[in-house]
Amino acid sequence: MISGLLVDNLTIRRGERTLFSGLGFSAAAGEAVALTGRNGAGKTSLLRAVAGLLRPAAGEVRFAGVEDAGEARARGLHLIGHHDGLKGGRTAREELTFAARWSGGTAADIDAAARALDLGRLLDLEVRKLSAGQRRRVALARLVAAPRPLWLLDEPLAPLDSLWRQRIGEVIAGHLAGGGILLAAVHDPLPVAARTVEIGA
């Protein structure tokens, strides 16, 4: 299980443009890190590099507690961004069930997630019929439905109203209390105590 994250001297380049270079920070179990920075600074690219989807130009990402980075990523992290992976034409239940089971969740976990995010009535609707906030709740439900220690979230709260920002804050607090780690790209402050890392300062 991942018990810490270390970003070491990371440089990310997109084409000819260097987004940031020499970025380093770490996060221990139970810690939340808020990534801030102007639009296009490279917050999303950093999250994708931590997830192993994007090859950094220099530097590396290491995970404490698991020897092999590939192994750590395959079992230990969730990445949820603007493209949430939900299919508009399928029901919220089908999409949540697939995402959760694919990530190692059980039927009991899925029920717990539906309760935690109050999805009850939404589950039988097609995803395309949900509002942006409802859709985000369905996407975030997989965090609860398939417990994994490292959460990489890209603007997780953007479409949510104040009530749901608070409720997601409680979910995140529970995750951190259980030894989880959160790395979130945000513009507004996170509803939990978090260290701030500014990208491209």
Partner 1 sequence: MSPLLVLLRRELALTWGRGGGPLPALAFYAGVTTLLPLAVGPQPERLAVIAPGLAWLALALASLLSLERLFERDFEDGALDLLALGEPPLEAVCAIKALAQWLATGLPLALAAPVAALMMGAPLALTPMIVACALVGGLAFAFVGGLGAALALGSRRGGVLIAVIVLPLFAPPVIFGGGALDLAARGLGGMSGLLLLCAWSAAAVALSPLAMAAACRNALD
* Interacting residues with partner 1 (CB under 8 A): 48, 51-55, 73-75, 77-79, 81-90, 94, 98-99, 101-104
Question: Least distance from C-beta 4 to partner 1, angstroms?
Answer: 19
Residue in the block written with tokens 């609860």: 144
For partner 1, give the closer residue by CB, 8 or 84: 84
Residue 81 in tokens: 């961004």
Residue in the block written with tokens 């590099």: 49
For partner 1, give the closer residue by CB, 78 or 175: 78
Reference 32, options 178, 160, 201, 200; nearest CA is 178
For partner 1, give the closer residue by CB, 2 or 194: 2
Question: Least distance from C-beta 45 to partner 1, angstroms?
Answer: 10
Question: Least distance from C-beta 43 to partner 1, angstroms?
Answer: 16
For partner 1, give the closer residue by CB, 184 or 192: 184
Q: Which spans in 3-68 are helix H? A: 43-50
Which SS3 state, helix, strand or coil, does residue 125 take? coil
Alpha-carbon distance of 73 to 89, in angstroms, equals 29
Question: Least distance from C-beta 13 to partner 1, angstroms?
Answer: 11
Please give the span between the terminal C-alpha atoms of the chain, in angstroms, as a whole number. 32
